[in-house]
Amino acid sequence: MKEINFRGRKVLITGGLGMIGSSIAIRLRQLGADITILDAELPMYGANKFNLEPIRGQVKMVKADIRDRRSLEQLKWDFDMIFNLAGQVSHNDSIENPYLDTEINYLGQLNVLEQARKKNPKARIFFSGSRLQFGKIEAVPVAENHPQHPLTPYALNKNAAENLHLFYHHIHGISVVVFRIANPYGPRGQMKHSKYCIVNWFVRQAMEGKTITVFGDGKQLRDYIFIDDLVEAMLAAMSSPQAGGEVFNVGSGVGISFQDMTALVVRTVGRGSIRHVGWPADYINVETGDYVSNIQKLCRLTSWRPRISIEEGIRRTVAYFRRHGCHYF
Ligand SMILES: NC(=O)c1ccc[n+]([C@@H]2O[C@H](COP(=O)([O-])OP(=O)(O)OC[C@H]3O[C@@H](n4cnc5c(N)ncnc54)[C@H](O)[C@@H]3O)[C@@H](O)[C@H]2O)c1
């Protein structure tokens, strides 16, 4: 695959109404791509039609669930690229409801890959895995070969789906690119609940003048990646001929403690307060410890570098939700 010029490229984005999907859609439209969004608009997740406001009327919308093979068969599979982002995103919920997680995050992924194999084998496919696939962290920064001891059905299914994508690459010759994403945040991220996208949730809490609850001492390190940096990483990898069949850890590459992130949110918003409480059992059991991505593999392969500091990212996030918060909470 040569360096990709996105102009006129046909792109399918599953989960395209969510934070990552809509952000990649907006960027790809700027670059002239021809976009189809597929989303089931499940209420628990971040689907939001307002996310696509900047490109309203410029993308094809399909309301469909990746668990439903029949509706996937209705699509015209003639895409150059597929960003496979539809997912159950809460790792805590996956403990309560492992069937839902498996149906979406494993079997749903299989449905997309089977359609691609049968009807669209030339499409390059992006898979959005997670840092949680590693489970307990032995040492930071975390490179791709860090041992994997998943702690939840979410992490187990992400590992299985990653392997499924790699199987389709090796056995069926479909070009896939796999990311294990750290903690993304920013404009268009869901703020309905605290189950994921925690920076966004805290921005909302602070904007509403509430007390933000931090479990434990809040000293654990996290790697928060601003959505625009993540989008550029996805484009860089999908453009790189050498990225086919490869797995990349993607984050900002910088660690910040949970409590410092929280304090930064409160300072930036200028409202809200922080309270420390003990860890609830269902959180401490699946806590990974410090996490920071080692991003050298993607940086070596492409010219991508994260550009937005956490201070700047939170400033931009707050500015976005000051203007558009009414569409989110
Ligand atoms: N947000 C994070 O912290 C994070 C971190 C690592 C990886 N990821 C992965 O990135 C992907 C996108 O996440 P996001 O942050 O944009 O979350 P999001 O909730 O904003 O978007 C997910 C989208 O997927 C859609 N969806 C869910 N199940 C579906 C189904 N069965 N069929 C069709 N659409 C479905 C939802 O309606 C939603 O629009 C997910 O696969 C997620 O697991 C997210």
Spatial neighbors of 319 by CB under 8 A, at least 6 apart, are: none
Q: Which protein residue has the closest C-alpha to ligand 1 atom 44?
A: 89
Residue 217 CB neighbour total at 10 angstroms? 11
Ligand 1: atom nearest CA of 189 is 20
Whether ligand 1 lies within 6 angstroms of the CB of 152 is answered as: no
Could you give phi then psi for residue 258, rounded to 5 degrees? Answer: -60, -40
Using the mean position of ligand 1's atoms as its centre, give its distance from the Cα of residue 23 in Å: 12
pLDDT exceeds cutoff 90 at 280: no
Answer whether residue 202 is part of any domain. Answer: no
- What DSSP state is assigned to residue 176? E
CA angle 229, 269, 225 (to 5 degrees): 15
Using the mean position of ligand 1's atoms as its centre, give its distance from the Cα of residue 270 in Å: 30
Ligand 1: atom nearest CA of 47 is 39
What is the arithmetic mean of pLDDT over 248-259? 97
Ligand 1: atom nearest CA of 16 is 39
Domain residues for the domain of 36 are 10-182+225-252+294-308
Q: Which protein residue has the closest C-alpha to ligand 1 atom 12?
A: 85
* 66 Cα distance to chain centroid: 17
Residue 279 · residue 152 · CB < 8 Å: no
Using the mean position of ligand 1's atoms as its centre, give its distance from the Cα of residue 20 in Å: 8
Residue 166 CB neighbour total at 10 angstroms? 16
The pLDDT assigned to 3 comes to 60
The residue type at 70: R
The pLDDT assigned to 285 comes to 82
Cα distances from 103 to residues 65, 84, 115, in angstroms, run 11, 15, 16
Answer whether residue 248 is part of any domain. Answer: yes
Whether ligand 1 lies within 6 angstroms of the CB of 186 is answered as: no
Ligand 1: atom nearest CA of 158 is 43
The residue type at 311: E
pTM of the model: 0.97
Answer whether residue 196 is part of any domain. Answer: no
Q: Which range, of 19-28, 151-160, 280-289, averages the lowest pLDDT?
A: 280-289
What is the spatial distance between Cα 234 and Cα 249, in angstroms, rounded to a whole number? 11
Q: For the chain, what is the mean pLDDT?
A: 96
Length of the chain, in residues: 329
Answer whether residue 236 is part of any domain. Answer: yes
Q: Given strand 176-181, what is the order of strands in its sheet? A: 60-63, 34-39, 10-14, 81-84, 124-130, 176-181, 246-250
The pLDDT assigned to 215 comes to 92
The residue type at 72: L
Answer whether residue 207 is part of any domain. Answer: no
Whether ligand 1 lies within 6 angstroms of the CB of 22 is answered as: no
Using the mean position of ligand 1's atoms as its centre, give its distance from the Cα of residue 84 in Å: 9
Which candidate, 13, 21, 24, 7, places its Cα nearest to that of 231? 24
Answer whether residue 96 is part of any domain. Answer: yes
Whether ligand 1 lies within 6 angstroms of the CB of 101 is answered as: no
pLDDT exceeds cutoff 60 at 2: no
Tokens representing 240 are 């790189």
What is the arithmetic mean of pLDDT over 42-68? 97
Instruction: Specify burial of residue 191 (Cβ count, 10 A radius: 0-12, 13-18, 19+).
Output: buried
What is the arithmetic mean of pLDDT over 124-138? 97
Q: Which of 13, 37, 44, 45 to mutate to test the pocket of ligand 1 (most atoms within 8 A of CB)?
A: 45
Answer whether residue 126 is part of any domain. Answer: yes
Whether ligand 1 lies within 6 angstroms of the CB of 104 is answered as: yes
What is the spatial distance between Cα 253 and Cα 255, in angstroms, rounded to a whole number? 7
Q: Structurally, how many domains does the chain consist of? A: 1
Answer whether residue 172 is part of any domain. Answer: yes
Tokens representing 139 are 């040492």
What is the spatial distance between Cα 217 and Cα 30, in angstroms, rounded to a whole number? 43
What is the spatial distance between Cα 314 and Cα 317, in angstroms, rounded to a whole number? 5
The pLDDT assigned to 282 comes to 81
Cα distances from 156 to residues 92, 94, 159, in angstroms, run 13, 10, 5
Residue 318 · residue 268 · CB < 8 Å: yes
Q: Which protein residue has the closest C-alpha to ligand 1 atom 40?
A: 87
Cα distances from 308 to residues 142, 182, 275, 315, 316, in angstroms, run 20, 15, 28, 10, 10
Three-state secondary-structure class, residue 236: helix
Could you give phi then psi for residue 39, rounded to 5 degrees? Answer: -155, 145
What is the arithmetic mean of pLDDT over 23-49? 97
pLDDT exceeds cutoff 80 at 104: yes
Instruction: Specify burial of residue 153 (Cβ count, 10 A radius: 0-12, 13-18, 19+).
Output: buried
Could you give phi then psi for residue 223, rounded to 5 degrees? Answer: -120, 105
What is the arithmetic mean of pLDDT over 2-19? 91
Using the mean position of ligand 1's atoms as its centre, give its distance from the Cα of residue 128 in Å: 9
Which residue carries 């086919």 as its tokens?
A: 244
Q: Which of 13, 14, 19, 20 to mutate to test the pocket of ligand 1 (most atoms within 8 A of CB)?
A: 20
Ligand 1: atom nearest CA of 23 is 16
The pLDDT assigned to 176 comes to 98
CATH assignment at residue 58: 3.40.50.720
